[in-house]
Structure formats: structure tokens, C-alpha cells
Amino acid sequence: MLSHIPEAAQDADANIKLAKEIIGNCVHCGVCLSRCPTYAVRHEENDSPRGRIFLIKGMYEKGGVPDARTVEHLDRCLTCLACEAICPSGVEYSKLIAHGREYVEQHYRRPLFQRVVRESLIRLLPNAGLFRKAIALGRLARPARGLFSGTLRAMMDMVPASPLPAPSPVDRPQTFTVTPGTTRRKRVALLNGCVQTALDTAINEATIRLLQRHGVEVVVAQGSGCCGAPAEHMGAEDKALPLVKANIDAWLREADGPEGLDAVIINTSGCGTSVKAYGHAMRLDPQWAEKAARVSAMARDISEFMTEIGLMSPARPTGQRIVYHSACSMQHGQRIINQPKDLLRSAGFTVLDVPEGYLCCGSAGTYNLLQPEIAQQLKERKVRNIRSVNAQVAASGNIGCMTQLAGDVGIPFVHTVELLDWATGGPEPAALAKAQIAAG
């Protein structure tokens, strides 16, 4: 599609030049509308990928301060990337929307409430300690949540009803050697994440056990932490970059050390999409471009890595009916579609797909907090679809979706690695033990 973005703007900003190229690849065929969650809810072109491409084109053509309506529609995008995955013309929507949001944050002054909320989230999420304190406060305020609406209400609703687990000893920087009696085949760094270390410590614990059992040494590298996605999703590149650089340094220190590193393992697909894009994010910085590209090339979702090294035979009877919810960052962002399901099958489980599986559950990082109305509609739709297949357990590879859905699906909701760990000799996931799920 032809755009008329002024040459001067393109020369001044490499991301605007890139935007022009990306817009040029769009032929306006409309296939993306069929996969877009906001279009499924709103039925309005402005809330579709094709519409947002037009809006971004208009924003750059006009230059200056973006108008409030354009910002609202760009905010409503979940960045689920279902559009990019189905686009036959290969339009790189992810880059277009990410840079478009950066432009918005640089040129548009949001109303005070929005600024406060966004700033708090950007500060809170990457810091597990602060996040824990906020959740504790939220629990105190929980009984009064009926008095609130919109984003505040959504935040209070997200606070778990039961207390958070104590910080896990595995999330401190250290090295986990392979299970005694097995030979070391690989050595990897684990991104233990930010929110995940506060909300659900069992996921990293299961991941480490699973890897150790398969002859993989695991390092939680000193200095690694949040991947930077929360800030990046809100267009706050300046807030994301220090986190990105800290991770690159931490992992390359290991990779270039005497023991070396075969991969960076990520068990939260939202973070995985982000780490795999480090190379693009830093491409214009000569000091970091190459280092970032190296880290991106080493990044693997745990399901990709386990597929590469092969899963051992199950150590106990399984066969439970598992409904597998593929996170958008997994299936669209990283195009990992069959690996998690194949692993679960080879561990002996019966795997069922979610109808309308391409649709986002509404979690989308901080989206459920910033856009509670659309998020709620998507959540209800996803819950209906998950319930419709009548499974015993739901599994996913992304903590965000699990937090969004676990309370409503009526069955235990666990991380894929917890099931793989259990099947190959680890402890039964707490949620399953509680629900007394029988083998199939």
C-alpha cells in the first residue's frame, strides 16, 4: 500500500523509514481481520490490524502529535500477532505496532490517570520484591473492590485470593548440576522471569528438575531478570533497554565463560518473544547489535529445547485429557505450534485443542489491566471454549494466560513443564493433587 510519509521524517527516524516499507507490503486483502481478537469483539475496522496499519500510516504522514482516537485504537491492540502469523504478504506488523507505540509515547501526553497506571506497572512488574508488596497491599484492599471500576477494579481482581508462595530458593543466581547418575549433555541459562517468581514458583522449579533429569546443567545467571516486555509493550523503550542490556550482559558472561552456554531457556512465551526480538530492538546500536543478535539466536522456549534433546519415556501412568491453550506469544509470536502438544503426547497425555485456538485470552501482558472491558470479553470466550472440550487439566506455556484463566476454567491449570516433569518422575503438580485427577 502506498503511503506519503514525508522523506524528512523517514531520514530523521530509521523506524519510520522501516514503517513505510512494512506498510508498502500490505495489500489490504483483509485476511488479518479474521484472526484479530479486537475485531472479533468490536467488528470495527479501526480495531483491526488492517485499520491500525492505516492509522499508523496517517500518524506518520501527518507527523507531530498523534490524535487521541488513533492512540486509543493502537492501545487496544493486544499485540497477539495472530495477524502477522496469517498474513500471506508477510507484513511485519509486530515491528510496525511496536515502533508506532514508541512514537506515541514520545509525542503524546496521556491523561494523568493513564500515566500513573502505566508508570507504576513499568516499575512494579520487573521487580519481584516490589510486586510482592503491591500484591499484599492489593489483598488488603480486595474486600473494597466493588467500589472500583475499569483498570483499578481489574488490578484488584487480578490479586490472587490466596497468599503468594514464599520466594523460591531456585530463583537466586546459582548453578544446578545434572541429576546424579546422568551425563551432562548441555548447559543452559534459565530466564527465571519477574512476575513468575512471585506468582508461581513451581514453574521454574519444575523446569530446572526436568532439565537436570535430562542431563542439562542450568544456570540462573547473576544479573539477569525481567526481559523488558512490560515496558516495551507500553512503548517505553527507554525503560526496557536497561533490562535488555542487563540480560545480554549476564548471559554472554556465561556463554563466553569457561563452561559456555548452549541456549537461553525461557518458560514464559511472552518473555520468549521479547528475547528473540532483542536482535531487532538493538539493531541500530553498534555497541549492542551483535551481542543482542547472539542472545536472540540462543533463545529457546523450553518446549523447543525439550523437543531438540528428546523427552525420556514417562515414569508413571498418565493418559489424562489435557486441553492445551497455546499462548499468542507461543503460537503467533514464536510460531511454536506443535512442539508442546507433541511433548505432552509423548509423555502419555491425551491432548485436546481449544476451539478458536488462535484467539487471544485477553491477558496479553498488562492488557487485562489497561483494557479491562475487551480483555473480559475475550476471557469469557476463551473460558467457554476451554470448557467445551471437557478436559481434566488445562496446560499452557505462559504465566500471563494462566493467571487470566485459572480461576474460571473449572479444572486445574498448570504449566506444560509441570506435567512433563511429573510424567518423567517429578512431584505431582499441586493443583492436580488437590483436584485428585485420576490417570486416563
**What is the binding site for another protein (CB under 8 A)?**
1-2, 24-31, 33-34, 43-46, 48, 50-51, 54-55, 58, 67, 69-70, 73, 86-91
| Cβ distance to another protein smaller for residue 96 or 248 | 96
Dihedral, CA of residue 305, residue 311, residue 315 and residue 319, to nearest 10: 90
Reported as half-sphere exposure (CB side, CA atoms, 13 A), residue 158 has a value of: 31
| Cβ distance to another protein smaller for residue 5 or 265 | 5
| Cβ distance to another protein smaller for residue 104 or 281 | 104
338: β partners = none
| Cβ distance to another protein smaller for residue 50 or 213 | 50
CB of 78 to another protein, least distance (A): 18
CB of 61 to another protein, least distance (A): 10
Contact 194, 226 (CB under 8 A): yes
Return d(Cα 202, Cα 225) in angstroms, integer: 17
| Cβ distance to another protein smaller for residue 95 or 186 | 95
Q: Which cell goes with 8?
A: 524528512
CB of 372 to another protein, least distance (A): 17
Buried b (16+ CB within 10 A) or exposed e, 23-53: beebeeeeebbebbbbbbbbeeebbbbbbbb
| Cβ distance to another protein smaller for residue 70 or 424 | 70
Return d(Cα 238, Cα 169) in angstroms, integer: 31
CB of 188 to another protein, least distance (A): 29
Reported as half-sphere exposure (CB side, CA atoms, 13 A), residue 81 has a value of: 26
CB of 217 to another protein, least distance (A): 35
Dihedral, CA of residue 411, residue 415, residue 416 and residue 419, to nearest 10: -70
